[in-house]
Amino acid sequence: MTASAVIIEVDGLSKRFGKIEAVKGVTFGVQPGEIFGFLGPNGAGKTTTINMLCTLLTPSAGSARVNGFDVVHQRSEVRRSIGLVFQQTTLDEYLSADQNLRFHAYAYAIPAELRERRMTELMEMVDLADRRSGSVRTYSGGMKRRLEIARGLLHHPRVLFLDEPTLGLDPQTRRHIWDYLLRLREQEGLTIFLTTHYMDEAEFSDRIAVIDHGRIVGLGTPDGLKRDVGGDLLTVRTPDAPAAAAEIRERYAAEVSVRDDMVSFSVANGEEFLPDFVKRFGHPMQSIAVRRPTLDDVFLHLTGREIRDAELDPQAQMLQGMARRFHG
Amino acid sequence: MSEIWRGAWVVAYRELLRFVNERSRLVGSLAQPLIFLVIFGAGFGNVIGALAPGVDFIQFMYPGIIAMGVLTTALFAGVSVVWDREFGFLREMLVAPLGRTGIVLGKAIGACVIGLVQVLLMLLITPLVNVSIDIGLVVRLIPVVFVLSIALSGLGILIASFMRSQQGFQLLIQLLIFPLIFLAGVFFPVNQAPDWLQVLSKVNPLTYGVDAIRQIFLGPSAPLGVSVFDHVMTIGEEVALMAGLGAVLLAAAAWAFSRQE
ipTM of this complex: 0.84
Which pLDDT does position A310 carry in this prediction? 45
Distance CA(B110)–CA(B51), nearest Å, equals 36
Among candidate residues B159, B200, B185, B175, the one with its CA nearest the CA of residue B74: B159
- How far, in Å, are A163, B84, B258 from residue A78 at the CA level? 17, 23, 18
Q: Which residues of A touch B13 (CB under 8 A)?
A: 103, 106
Cβ atoms of B37 and B58 within 8 Å: the answer is yes
Asked if B257 contacts B104 with a C-beta cutoff of 8 angstroms, the reply is yes
- How far A312 CA sits from the closest chain B CA (Å)? 25
Render pLDDT for B231-244 as a digit per residue (tens, 0 to 9): 777 888 888 989 99
Choice among A18-32, A211-225, B1-15, B188-202 with the minimum mean pLDDT: B188-202
Contact A90 B91 (CB under 8 A): yes
CATH 3.40.50.300 segments of chain A: 3-225
CATH 3.30.70.260-classified regions of chain A: 227-327
CA pair distance A133, A123, nearest whole angstrom: 11
pLDDT at residue A323 in the model = 47
Rounded average pLDDT over B195-206: 84
Query: CB of A295 within 8 Å of any CB in chain B?
Result: no
Amino acid at A80: R
Angle at CA A231, nearest 5°, toward A230 and A235? 100
- Contact between B184 and B207 (Cβ < 8 Å): yes
pLDDT, one tens digit per residue, over A132-148 is: 988 899 998 888 988 99
A105 vs B: CB within 8 A: no
Q: What is the pLDDT of residue A66?
A: 94
Q: Where are the domains of chain B?
A: 2-260
Query: Which residues 6+ apart lie within 8 Å of A121 measured at CB?
Result: none
Q: Which of B11, B79, B89 to mutate to test the interface with A (most CBs of A within 10 A)?
A: B89
A54-103 tens-digit pLDDT: 998 899 999 999 999 999 999 889 999 999 998 888 999 889 999 999 99
Say if domain A227-327 classifies as CATH 3.30.70.260. yes
Q: For chain B, report the end-to-end CA distance as a whole number of angstroms.
A: 19
Q: What is the DSSP string of chain B?
A: -HHHHHHHHHHHHHHHHHHHH-HHHHHHHHHHHHHHHHHHHHHHHHHH--SBTTB-HHHHHHHHHHHHHHHHHHHHHHHHHHHHHHHSHHHHHHHSS--HHHHHHHHHHHHHHHHHHHHHHHGGGGGGGT----HHHHHHHHHHHHHHHHHHHHHHHHHHHH--SHHHHHHHHHHHHHHHHHTTTSSS-GGGS-HHHHHHHHH-THHHHHHHHHHHHH---TTTS-EETTEEPPHHHHHHHHHHHHHHHHHHHHHHHHHH-
Phi, psi angle pair for A96, to nearest 5°: -80, 170
**Exposed (0-12), middle (13-18) or buried (19+): which is B150, by Cβ within 10 Å?**
buried
Q: Tell me the C-alpha distance between A274 and B192, whole Å.
A: 100
* Pick from A82, A92, A135: CB nearest B89: A92
pLDDT for res B260: 66
Q: Do B98 and A107 touch (CB under 8 A)?
A: yes
- Pick from A154, A153, A4: which is nearest to A65 by CA? A4
Residue B89 backbone phi and psi in degrees, to 5? -65, -25
Say yes or no: A91 contacts chain B, CB-CB below 8 A: yes
Chain B positions in Cβ-Cβ contact with residue A94 (cut-off 8 Å):
18, 21-22
CATH of domain A3-225: 3.40.50.300
> Which is nearest to B248 in space by CA: B171, B154, B133?
B154
| Shortest CA gap A14–chain B (Å) | 19
pLDDT over 90 at A304, yes or no: no
* pLDDT per residue as tens digits for the range A159-193: 999 988 877 778 887 888 888 888 888 887 899 99
pLDDT grade for B261, boundaries at 50, 70 and 90 = low
Q: Binning pLDDT at 50, 70 and 90, where does residue A316 land?
A: very low
pLDDT exceeds cutoff 70 at A318 = no
Strand partners, A23: A15
